[in-house]
Structure 1
């Protein structure tokens, strides 16, 4: 006789429901390594103790906070424009100015009308920024047109000749000042010149050759006084880290040969404008800075109005060039307030 054994699970007897599903395969059956069954409902995920920052509701800004945010945005835009103008665009402006000055001065040399004094060929006072010579120092890669005047606006175009001194190559002492970092940084390497090195300056009186005497800084003794018929040229620039000047550096050079006769000079040291001295700033055009700032603020207000009226996309298309131009105008005027040898 055959005996049949029927297995009744306790769960089915107690609940009266359908039998449990078969256990999963694997060495532990329906029990995992932890010994707990997986037939119960899954546990809900544990809530974080702190809500993520992206899900936290932000309180609306107060009018004072909105005003402060707008002011900080304007200041950030101006600082960005200033840095871009001083460190990048200023070199492009310098290259363009040098090209224009070189073309104009070579035409004057060819026509025999290049200035040899503070007066122009037509007996008028030579204006600031007019070309008066070409400085060539091959050992450090310098080939620059020298302009008349040493204010911050003049040295943007190229090395400036100080008005109270004779032109390079003429009997007496001549001073040429150039920038060390911004606007091409034409004099950034003049401190590398060693005694005995030579360079030339081309003026309306011909090409003059100079020999370097030495480099000196504040407190160093000056070369001996000039003798009759001698000519000396002083190249001057800022000393220190780029864009952070800490003093001045001077390179003294003696003319090889006899100096040319000096032209009439109407400006003396006492009459020299304060902005033409070394490491001086130019405050004569602060009014232009005020107008540039007004233009920038008006453009900013118009951009905000356009953003609310016509949307962000059209506003960016129209006002980005305007804001860029306004920022450059402000930055250009601010650079005049910086030292002229920066």
Structure 2
């Protein structure tokens, strides 16, 4: 009975690790990644080497998380570095640019995904934006201004088609209660500054299934299972230590060991949840 009780406690601690990863540890990781991205992107802007399209110099797709732009929404006090890609893993570090759309500031529709609750929830407040609110985006082509034209929920009509030389920015996140998304929310904004020509947006096939809205990344199953096995072995070792050496020895060894492994498993499990969560 004691062994069963200890096993149940470990399972409960693992569930708590998932909550901590999404709501606390994930926020710290998001802030760290944002600082790193900002420092990197600032250097690229200063050296005029920031990407202005979804392909690198060898015409290959940019790696997930490559800094692409700085998104600023004065009304929300929001300033986030936007990375390339919209997979669950990519969106842990901040908003992501959908690969098959143009960059902000260019002719056409640019789409940015962002989480609403987990990992800092950078897009939590975009539902409060109103028509006329300003959005600014900085890319390798300069600073671009946008003005919000509407907030769309499920069933809302599509915005009118763009005329030649116009640009639009669409912010996409989850809708519904926090951590319980029920649909998708979109905020449309019209480009008010000069529209730049596109630089060869990748084809639609460049967007993987894991990068679609509200998608999961099933490639995380293998590392999650692997780390889960390591966690099970470690948990068994802690239970054995408890029986052989005593409670306090097990606590001293078990808390940091199982805590670190539990957070690692929880981080992988988070990739199996919707990317806009």
Q: What is the TM-score normalised by the length of structure 2? A: 0.96
Cα distance in 2 for residues equivalent to 1:172 and 1:274 = 23
SS at match of 2:164: coil
Q: What's the offset of the Cα at 1:86?
A: 1.1
Paired residue for 1:207, among 139, 143, 161?
A: 143
1:326 aligned onto 2:270: no
Instruction: Flag the structure with higher helix content.
Output: 2
For the 8 Å contact 1:115–1:121, the answer to whether it is kept is no
Q: Tell me which residue corresponds to 2:231.
A: 296
Aligned ranges for residues 126-205 of structure 1 at < 5 Å? Answer: 126-205=62-141
Q: Tell me which residue corresponds to 1:29.
A: none
SS at match of 2:157: coil
- Relative to 1, partners in 2 of residues 1:176 and 1:91: Cα closer, same or farther, differing over 3 Å? same
Q: Tell me which residue corresponds to 1:220.
A: 156
Cα distance in 2 for residues equivalent to 1:283 and 1:289 = 10
Q: Output one character per residue of 1:78-105: Cα deviation in whole Å (capped at 9) or x when no partner.
A: 1111111111111111101100010111
Cα distance in 2 for residues equivalent to 1:209 and 1:331 = 39
Q: Tell me which residue corresponds to 2:213.
A: 278
Cα distance in 2 for residues equivalent to 1:226 and 1:257 = 15
Unpaired stretches in structure 2, ≥5 consecutive residues: none
Cα distance in 2 for residues equivalent to 1:319 and 1:87 = 23
Which shows bigger deviation, 228-237 or 310-319? 310-319
Q: Tell me which residue corresponds to 1:51.
A: none
Q: Tell me which residue corresponds to 1:36.
A: none
Cα distance in 2 for residues equivalent to 1:121 and 1:307 = 57
Aligned ranges for residues 47-86 of structure 1 at < 5 Å? Answer: 61=1, 68-86=4-22
Bigger-Rg structure (1/2): 1
Cα distance in 1 for residues equivalent to 2:58 and 2:31 = 29
Cα distance in 1 for residues equivalent to 2:252 and 2:4 = 26
For the 8 Å contact 1:113–1:121, the answer to whether it is kept is no
Q: Tell me which residue corresponds to 2:180.
A: 244
Where relative contact order (Cα < 8 A, 6+ residues apart) is larger, the structure is 2
Q: Tell me which residue corresponds to 2:36.
A: 100
Q: Tell me which residue corresponds to 1:229.
A: 165
Cα distance in 1 for residues equivalent to 2:92 and 2:101 = 20
For the 8 Å contact 1:114–1:121, the answer to whether it is kept is no
Paired residue for 1:311, among 233, 236, 246?
A: 246
Q: Output one character per residue of 1:85-135: Cα deviation in whole Å (capped at 9) or x when no partner.
A: 111111111101100010111111111110001112465431011110000
Q: What's the offset of the Cα at 1:74?
A: 3.0
Q: What's the offset of the Cα at 1:67?
A: 6.2
SS at match of 1:285: helix
1:340 aligned onto 2:272: no
Q: Tell me which residue corresponds to 2:222.
A: 287
Q: Tell me which residue corresponds to 1:21.
A: none
SS at match of 1:128: coil
